[in-house]
Every structure is written in C-alpha cells, then in structure tokens.
C-alpha cells in the first residue's frame, strides 16, 4: 500500500478518534413513523395500504451509501440487475428487471418521465445523474403503464432530487477520493475523484437549492487485458426554486449533465482512442393548487441531449422531448382516492454519420421524419376499507401518432389483517403494459422499420408481506410476465439486419424475497433473494439467482458500520467471433462480492467522514464478456454541513 493510502487512513483514523471522544449529552427521543409510499398510486399512502411491494431507499440509507453511484445503489434492490456497474466507470449500463431490458424500465425524476429519444431503447442514462443530488428513491416493480405510460413494463424507478428543508443560508460540501483498479493490480493509487457543493435555504415562502458535482475516474481499461486507460469525466449542475402561498405552490428547476467517456474497440476487443461526449439540459416547472380534499398538479419538462462518438464509425445525435403530465387527485374521506390525468409527450431525434469514402458528416435521420406525439388520458382509483380490503385499479388510453390507440389497465387487490404487533398482508395484481418502439428503431435508414408495433406485456403477481412493529418487514412475491410483439434485431439474410416484431410469446417468472429487520437497537439487517426463470431468447446476462445482504451496526451514537454481500449466479453472454463471423454464446461463472462501509459524525454532527472497501477478497470475475471488472478498491471522503 503506497504512502498516499497510508496518509488517508491515518487522517480517517484521527477523525474517528475525534468523533468518539465527544461526550453525548443530549437525549433524543426516536419515534418509528409509518412508512409512506407514493409511486403505486400518486397518493401518500401508508405502506400497509399499498397493494404492491415497493422498495424505498431513504435519505438516511443514501447517507450510508456515500461514495457510490445511483446505479450501484439501485443495483442492490431485489430483482434488479444493472449490468455494467462493476466495470469501468464509463461502461454502458443495461437494466435487467424481471427478465426485461432497458426499454421496459421507466426512470422518473421528481415524478416525471425522463427518456433519451436518441437512444436505441429510448432509455435514460443513469451515469448522467449525480448521487449527491438525490434525496430518495422509490422502486415499483411490475407493469405500471396505467399511471406512467410507455416503458413502465417491468419497473418504475422514481428518483426524488434534494430540496431545501432548512431555514436561512446553508452550505453542504462533499468530497470522495479512492482507487480504481482491477483484481490484478495492487497499487491503490488515487484515481477516482468525486466532489460536490450545494447551497440551499428558505426565507418566508421562498426556497432555493443550487448544487454542482464533478467526477473524474481513471485507471482501468474498458476491455479486459487492455493496457491503455479509459477515463470517465462528468460534471452536473442543478438549480431548484420554490414559492408557496395559501393553497398554491410552484417549483421550477434547471439542470445540466455533461459526461466524457473513453472507450475501446468492442468489435475487435482492442485498445482504441475512442470517446463519447454527452450533454444533457433539462428545464421543468411544476405548479400545484391544493383545495379541500384534493389537488391539481402539472408537471412539465423539456429535455435535450446531444451525443457525439469519436471512433472508427463517428456519429452525432440529438434527442429532444417535451413531457407535460397534468392530473387531479381527490381524496374521499381517506377511503376512496382518485387520479384523473392526461400525459402528453413529444419526442424527436436527429443523427449524423460519415458515409464510407467521405470525410464529412451528413444527416442520417431527420427530425422532420423521426418524431412522434403521445397523448394519454388515464384514470386510477384506490379504495381503502375499514376491514382490511384495499383495491388499486386503473385504465390508460395511449394515442400514438405512428401506430394509433392502445389500451392498458391494472387491477390490484390486497387484504391486510392487523394484530397487536403488526400486520400480515396478501397481495395480487394483474396489469398490462406497452413499450413504444424508439425513434431509432422506427426511422433509422439502415435498421429501422416503420411497420413496428408496440410490445405488449401482461404481468401477474401474487405475494404476502408481514410487518412486525419495531422488528421489520418480510415480503415474498411471485411474478409471471408474458411478452408479445417482442422487438428483436433480426438477421434477414446476407448480414442485413432490421428491427422486427417476433411472433412468439415469451415468458419470464420468478420469486422475490425481501427482509428488513431491526435485530437489536444497534443492529439492522437488509436482505433480498431473487429467482428469475426466463426463456432462452431473453436470458442474455440475466442471472437465475441473485442475492444481497447488508448488516448495519451502530456501536456508538454517531458511528455506522455496514457489511454488504452481493451474489450473482451463472449467466450467459454472447460475442461476435471475428474468425467465424458468427455470434457465439458463452457461460459466465457466478461471483460473490463483499463490501465494507464505515462512517463517523464529528464536529457536533456537522461533519461526516466515511470510507468504503469494495470487493474485499479481490475476487476476479466477468460481468460482461471481454470487458474489465473492478477488483478490491478503497475510497474515503467527508460530508460537511455549514
């Protein structure tokens, strides 16, 4: 271990010594509040009245996961595999949930859909999001198109960004530095730098938050065995303003996210000086009018993403989307809740490439052609009875400018039985979803197909949840999902490929077990186990078995120790063999990773110092065939509130 790491370790040890030397004189009464969930109904309902098993990652949990990206944090959730988070920092991310792909996972920021119309799967790139800007995350699995529209087929990930919650003027500083190396290396040089600063406050009815974040990571080659390092650089800015008076409040925000990613030649598995550059700008406004028993909300956002690829096949693209979601919520005596709304989306993209034999970019996809509008009226109702029966049901009519009308619906009954120390709840649901073809899949001149139809999903769930006061919650859910009109990249002959709907139906099914337990006051346990069975056509990089387990231990008032284990079972992957000119299937071995986290509050709670050790046993494994994965790494950091 080099001198830099030794110095950082000494500095951290000194900080912990300071923290534990402080005398705790204040007695704080801690009350356990009912957990509130929002994503499955758009109402703030008690978890016991929800017919879904929702994963909620709170601000407290995020504080215990400092130094990790949003994708890494979400990847510890039952049933979710974000492929690429264990590789080089710039690796493309693939979202696998219940046998689905990126296009079937909808990501929302502050309650509004975010997509990238220039992407093949129309998905949002989580690499662009700074974890320091996030307040909490709710994850709802299963088909949820009735409330959230196209793409909400296997999961909705609702990310809430931070807002000002303190009076006056406040500053928050966070800095993390660490190593970034493979299992073959042992230098522990500092190659990962992450910094952020935020200003926030409140004055009467006005609130504001401004934040800026930066990350630079170097040290790993993108391809396995590469000698050239491929750095990842990103910076983010966010400004949120709020004003409220009487029954009206309004929020507005503006954000930018820039990322430069070095990558290698994945076709030849060779080092290369390739770079992708992304620039994203988001603007949004959200007025809300509250009246007796109800509220009228409008969420509107404009998103623009520019991408450029400097490689053997250089290209540029631009994606623009406008989303307006207007809905009315009404609460009938805390028993009957209704949502009536309409969602409008306008998406367009443009791309450029350099034709063979030319040196100049030419337009490949025109926004005059590659665009579509979606207008979705929808309704949802929740009934909460006095005798334990709860019903959540809804309907949505999708009107798409390219392929017409599509109707989706859901029915989600649950029954709760209360007893003296908690409750037991049975849940069931049947829901349908659709996945709109992306603009690339429709209009790309080489591979597009304007005859594509939307994918359709039907998901059935059956499960139970047991909650014990002051002990925790255990849930078990069985799911069965059927895909129709699956969009695949089909070889039509003579190496000519096109996106086409596949006539066959495909099925994915499995079990998700989740346990959140407070074993004793100082010791908590969070664990999950997922079994996923998918047909051969869908099983690329999807492990049959996944498991996560985390122990949180607080030996002192201001000290947190966490030990986290993650297991991924065997998977299949494919690669293009340059000798045979064919795709070949390979089996990837299972792996298990053990991580350690420690934090300590000092300076009367105004400062937190923390450290992470990931892949403690320096296990060597493959996440994606032919690409590098991280070995044992260490980072340390601090968070200071002024």
pLDDT (tens digit per residue) in 609-623: 999 999 999 999 999
pLDDT (tens digit per residue) in 262-320: 999 988 889 999 999 999 999 999 999 999 999 999 999 999 999 999 998 899 999 99
Residue 411, CA atoms < 13 Å, CB-side half-sphere:
1
Beta bridge mates, 323: 301, 345
Helix (H) or strand (E) segment spanning residue 608: strand 607-614
Tell me the average pLDDT across 342-349.
95
Please state, rounded to an integer, the average pLDDT across all residues of the chain. 89
Beta bridge mates, 534: 508
- The segment with the largest mean pLDDT, out of 12-21, 26-35, 40-49, 622-631, is 622-631
Distance of CA 488 to the CA centre of its chain: 24
**108 in a structural domain:** yes
For every residue of 371-426, DSSP letters joined together read EEEEEEEEEEEEEE-SSSEEEEEEEEEEEETTTEEEEEEEEEEEEEEEETTEEEEE
Looking at the predicted structure, is the pLDDT value of residue 390 above 90? yes
CA–CA dist 347, 289 (Å, integer): 28
Which pTM value belongs to this model? 0.90
pLDDT (tens digit per residue) in 539-562: 888 999 999 999 999 999 899 999
**29 in a structural domain:** no
Q: For residue 342, what are the domain limits?
A: 3-24+34-641
Confidence class for position 236, pLDDT limits 50, 70, 90 = very high
Q: Calculate what percentage of the chain has a pLDDT beyond 90.
A: 66
Q: Calculate what percentage of the chain has a pLDDT beyond 70.
A: 94
The domain that holds 119 is classified in CATH as 2.40.170.20
**Closest among 392, 484, 497 to 446, alpha carbons compared:** 497
pLDDT (tens digit per residue) in 63-78: 878 888 899 999 999 9
Confidence class for position 34, pLDDT limits 50, 70, 90 = low
**3-state DSSP of 176-243:** EEECCCCCCCCCCCCCEEEEEEEEEEEECCEEEEEEEEEEEECCCCCECCCCCCCCEEEEEEEEEEEE
CA–CA dist 153, 7 (Å, integer): 49
**Closest among 418, 313, 296, 347 to 149, alpha carbons compared:** 347
pLDDT score, position 66: 81
For every residue of 243-263, DSSP letters joined together read EEETTEEEEEEEEEEEEEEEE
H helices, E strands: number in the chain: 5, 36
**220 in a structural domain:** yes
**Closest among 438, 428, 414, 528 to 479, alpha carbons compared:** 428
Q: Indicate the range of 96-110, 137-151, 567-581 predicted with least confidence.
A: 567-581
Q: What is the largest CA-CA distance in the chain?
A: 77
pLDDT (tens digit per residue) in 87-123: 999 999 999 999 988 989 999 998 888 888 888 888 8
| Number of domains the chain is built from | 1
324 contacts 344 by C-beta, under 8 angstroms:
yes
**Closest among 579, 583, 582, 587 to 625, alpha carbons compared:** 587
Provide the edge-to-edge strand list for the sheet that holds 134-141.
Answer: 54-57, 134-141, 155-161, 105-109, 112-114
Helix (H) or strand (E) segment spanning residue 9: helix 3-21
For every residue of 70-126, DSSP letters joined together read HHHHHTTSTTEEEETTTB-TTPPPEEEETT--GGGEEEEETTEEE--TTSTT----G
Confidence class for position 581, pLDDT limits 50, 70, 90 = low
Tell me the average pLDDT across 38-53.
85
DSSP reduced 3-state for 332: strand
Residue whose entry in the numeric block shows the structure tokens 């017409």? 404
For every residue of 38-57, DSSP letters joined together read -TTTSS-EEGGG-SS-EEEE
Tell me the average pLDDT across 572-578.
82
Looking at the predicted structure, is the pLDDT value of residue 32 above 70? no
């Amino acid at each position: 271990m080099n001198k830099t790491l030794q110095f950082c370790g000494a500095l951290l040890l000194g900080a912990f010594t300071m923290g534990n030397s402080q005398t705790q004189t204040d007695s704080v009464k801690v009350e356990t509040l009912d957990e509130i969930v929002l994503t499955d109904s758009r109402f703030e309902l008690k978890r016991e009245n929800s017919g879904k098993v929702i994963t909620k990652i709170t601000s407290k949990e995020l504080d215990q996961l400092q130094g990790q990206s949003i994708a890494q944090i979400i990847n510890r959730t039952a049933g979710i595999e974000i492929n690429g988070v264990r590789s080089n920092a710039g690796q493309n991310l693939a979202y696998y949930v219940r046998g689905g792909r990126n296009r079937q996972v909808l990501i929302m920021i502050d309650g509004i859909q975010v997509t990238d119309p220039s992407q093949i799967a129309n998905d949002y790139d989580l690499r662009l999001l700074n974890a320091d800007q996030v307040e909490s995350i709710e994850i709802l699995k299963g088909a949820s198109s009735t409330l959230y529209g196209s793409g909400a087929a296997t999961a909705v990930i609702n990310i809430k960004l931070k807002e000002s919650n303190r009076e006056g003027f406040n500053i928050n500083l966070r800095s993390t530095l660490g190593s970034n190396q493979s299992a073959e290396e042992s230098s522990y040089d500092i190659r990962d730098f992450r910094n952020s600063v935020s200003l926030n406050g409140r004055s009467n009815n006005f609130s504001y938050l401004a934040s800026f974040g930066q990350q630079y990571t170097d040290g790993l080659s993108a391809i396995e065995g590469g000698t050239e390092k491929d750095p990842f650089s990103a910076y983010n800015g966010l400004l949120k303003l709020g004003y409220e008076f009487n029954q009206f409040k309004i929020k507005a925000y503006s954000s930018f996210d820039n990322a430069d990613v070095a990558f290698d030649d994945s076709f030849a598995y060779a080092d290369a000086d390739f770079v992708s550059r992304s620039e994203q700008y988001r603007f949004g406004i959200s007025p809300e009018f509250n009246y007796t028993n109800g509220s009228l909300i409008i969420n509107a956002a404009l998103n623009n993403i520019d991408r450029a690829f400097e490689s053997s096949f250089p290209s540029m693209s631009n994606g623009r989307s406008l989303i307006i979601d207007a809905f009315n919520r009404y609460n009938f005596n805390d028993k009957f809740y209704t949502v009536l709304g309409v969602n409008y989306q306008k998406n367009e993209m443009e791309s450029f490439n350099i034709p063979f034999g030319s040196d100049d970019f030419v337009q490949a996809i025109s926004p005059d052609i590659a665009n579509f509008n979606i207008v979705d009226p929808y309704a949802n109702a929740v009934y909460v009875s006095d005798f334990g029966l709860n019903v959540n049901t809804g309907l949505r009519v999708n009107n798409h400018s390219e392929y017409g009308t599509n109707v989706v619906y859901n029915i989600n009954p649950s029954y709760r039985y209360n007893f003296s120390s908690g409750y037991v709840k049975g849940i069931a649901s049947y829901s349908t979803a659709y996945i709109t073809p992306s603009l690339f899949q429709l209009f790309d001149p080489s591979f597009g197909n304007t005859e594509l139809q939307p994918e359709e999903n039907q998901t059935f769930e059956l499960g139970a949840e047991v909650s014990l006061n002051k002990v925790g919650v255990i849930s078990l859910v069985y799911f069965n999902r059927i895909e129709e009109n699956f969009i695949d990249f089909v070889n039509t002959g003579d190496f000519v490929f096109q996106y086409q709907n596949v006539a066959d139906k495909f099925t994915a099914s499995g079990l998700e077990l989740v346990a959140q337990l407070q074993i004793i006051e100082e010791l908590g346990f969070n664990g999950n186990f997922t079994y996923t069975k998918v047909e051969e056509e869908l099983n690329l990089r999807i492990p049959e078995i996944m498991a996560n387990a985390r122990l949180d231990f607080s030996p002192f008032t201001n000290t947190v120790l966490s030990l986290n284990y993650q297991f991924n079972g065997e998977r299949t992957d494919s690669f293009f063999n340059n000798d045979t000119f064919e795709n070949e299937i390979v089996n990837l071995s299972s792996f298990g990773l053990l991580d350690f986290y420690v934090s300590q509050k000092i300076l009367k709670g105004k400062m937190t110092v923390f450290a992470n050790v990931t892949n403690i046993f320096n296990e060597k494994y493959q996440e994606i065939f032919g690409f590098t994965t991280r070995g044992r790494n260490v980072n340390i950091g601090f968070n200071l509130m002024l």
